[in-house]
Amino acid sequence: MEIGLIGLPQSGKTTVFEAITHTLKDKSSKNTNIGISRVEDPRIDELVALFDPKKISKAEVTFVDIPTSPESLGKSQSISGEYLNILQRMDALVEVIRYFDNPSVPHIFETIDIKRDSKTLKEELIFSDLTIIDKRIERLNSELKGARNDKKESIIKEIGQLTNVKENLENNIPIKDQNLDKDTAEIVWNFQLLSAKPLLSVLNIDEDKINHKDSRDTISICAQLEKELAEMPEEDQLMFRESLGIEESGKNKLIDKSYALLNLISFFTVGPDEVKAWTITQGMSALEAAGQIHSDIQKGFIKAEVIGYQNMIESKKMAEAKKLGLLRLEGKEYLMNDGDIAHFMFNK
């Protein structure tokens, strides 16, 4: 999973990136920076205690700190070029909104206004989508002039569909909120439009706003504090968080919200060699989950041995789980549940 961080200049976007990935970035560099965060899941620790594996592999999330384009962000222009290409490949976007005061680092609009800044960022995503849709409509109109009669109907239909999408974008309705029919959604999906992507807002706050309430698609992180805490030994981190009333690290909050936003769940493979967490989309079948491990396993899929996490913890040993009838054989259409422990049988 790749998540792109966007933000206005001086929003603290790169500090958020450094805090959640423990990756330091050269502030003078205009290049994209990539960092990987391991998903802290207490269930994997419990499974490690049971199986004592040689290797532990936690799920990972890749965060991409996307440079602020001087030609676009904050200037009401569409995002283009390499910045657009980077954003288009992201699974989700995180907009970092400045909600801290620092006179030595003035806001580009001179005042702190989280609604205005969020609106500015969202509009720039929409502007980029409008540019792409406009070009496509223009190309279709050109094709229509020389098209055979049997092709004209489909071209006219697509022009109509995209025109409706365009009108909604012009009214500041992002793609993800347009309730597109299946045919239109399939057409739009091919363009990798930015306003179609899941979007999470991160308020970069002062220490005095630590108790700011989170919502379904907005979380608050004191990035500078989180960055400093991340550099401490774990025991010291816990002590300081407790003294400050911080129940969960910014990194864990962001990852948890990202999983919820993208409808992601985890399943596990276990054994003496390795305990590993795998990230899949909710509703994925056993056959599809097998393919996440290796295409050969999916191709030769026979059955999956599955046990729920809680049943495994209570059984303590796989042999005991089998004895109690808790280990099930499931076919390729079985829908994976969060926390499932699976062993896939397949023809080699």
Report the distance separating Cα 248 and Cα 207, nearest Å: 15
| 66-100 per-position pLDDT tens digit | 877 544 455 555 576 778 888 999 999 999 999 99
Report the distance separating Cα 96 and Cα 140, nearest Å: 37
Report the distance separating Cα 225 and Cα 222, nearest Å: 6
Report the distance separating Cα 226 and Cα 230, nearest Å: 6
3 state SS of 177: helix
The pLDDT value given to residue 69? 56
- Let me know if residue 55 belongs to a domain: no
The pLDDT value given to residue 29? 54
Report the distance separating Cα 65 and Cα 88, nearest Å: 14
Cβ neighbours of 271 (radius 10 Å): 13
Q: What mean pLDDT comes out for the span 101-117?
A: 92
3 state SS of 215: strand
CB 197 within 8 A of CB 176: yes
pLDDT band at 24 (very low <50, low <70, confident <90, very high): low
The pLDDT value given to residue 30? 62
Report the distance separating Cα 311 and Cα 50, nearest Å: 13
Two structure tokens written together for 89: 């490949």
pLDDT band at 25 (very low <50, low <70, confident <90, very high): low
Report the distance separating Cα 329 and Cα 313, nearest Å: 19
Give the burial class of 149: count Cβ atoms within 10 A of its Cβ; 0-12 exposed, 13-18 middle, 19 or more buried. Answer: exposed
Bridge partners, residue 34, by sequence: 64
Ramachandran region, residue 267 (left: φ > 0; alpha: ψ -120 to 50; beta: rest): beta
The pLDDT value given to residue 71? 47
In the 8-state DSSP scheme, what is residue 195?
Answer: G
The rounded percent of the chain whose pLDDT value lies above 90 is 74
CB 346 within 8 A of CB 302: yes
- Let me know if residue 186 belongs to a domain: no
Report the distance separating Cα 292 and Cα 306, nearest Å: 16
Instruction: Examine the pLDDT at 271 and tell me if it is beyond 90.
Output: yes
Q: What mean pLDDT comes out for the span 10-30?
A: 78
Helices (DSSP H) in the chain: which residue ranges? 13-21, 42-51, 81-88, 114-145, 149-170, 182-189, 223-230, 234-244, 250-261, 286-293, 295-299, 309-315, 318-323
Instruction: Examine the pLDDT at 296 and tell me if it is beyond 70.
Output: yes
Q: Could you tell me the CATH number of the domain that includes residue 300?
A: 3.10.20.30
- Let me know if residue 306 belongs to a domain: yes
pLDDT band at 209 (very low <50, low <70, confident <90, very high): confident
- Let me know if residue 176 belongs to a domain: no
The pLDDT value given to residue 276? 97
**Edge-to-edge, what's the strand order for the sheet holding 274-281?**
55-57, 274-281, 264-269, 341-346, 301-307, 328-330
336 residue type, one letter = M
Q: Residue 311 is part of which domain span? A: 283-346
Instruction: Examine the pLDDT at 314 and tell me if it is beyond 80.
Output: yes
- Let me know if residue 175 belongs to a domain: no
Instruction: Examine the pLDDT at 195 and tell me if it is beyond 70.
Output: yes
Nearest to 94 by CA among 281, 184, 223, 206: 223
| 232-266 per-position pLDDT tens digit | 888 898 899 888 888 888 899 999 999 999 999 99
Tell me how many degrees the CA angle 189-263-39 measures, rounded to the nearest 5. 115
Nearest to 237 by CA among 58, 19, 81, 62: 19
- Let me know if residue 338 belongs to a domain: yes
The rounded percent of the chain whose pLDDT value lies above 70 is 94
Instruction: Examine the pLDDT at 145 and tell me if it is beyond 60.
Output: yes
Instruction: Examine the pLDDT at 58 and tell me if it is beyond 80.
Output: yes
Q: How many structural domains does the chain have? A: 1
Instruction: Examine the pLDDT at 28 and tell me if it is beyond 70.
Output: no
3 state SS of 2: strand
Phi, psi angle pair for 108, to nearest 5°: -65, -25
* HSE toward the beta carbon, residue 240, CA cutoff 13 A: 15
- Let me know if residue 304 belongs to a domain: yes
- Let me know if residue 300 belongs to a domain: yes
Mean pLDDT across the chain, nearest whole number? 90
Among all chains, which residue has been given the structure tokens 């050269």? 26
The pLDDT value given to residue 83? 82
pLDDT band at 338 (very low <50, low <70, confident <90, very high): very high
The pLDDT value given to residue 77? 56
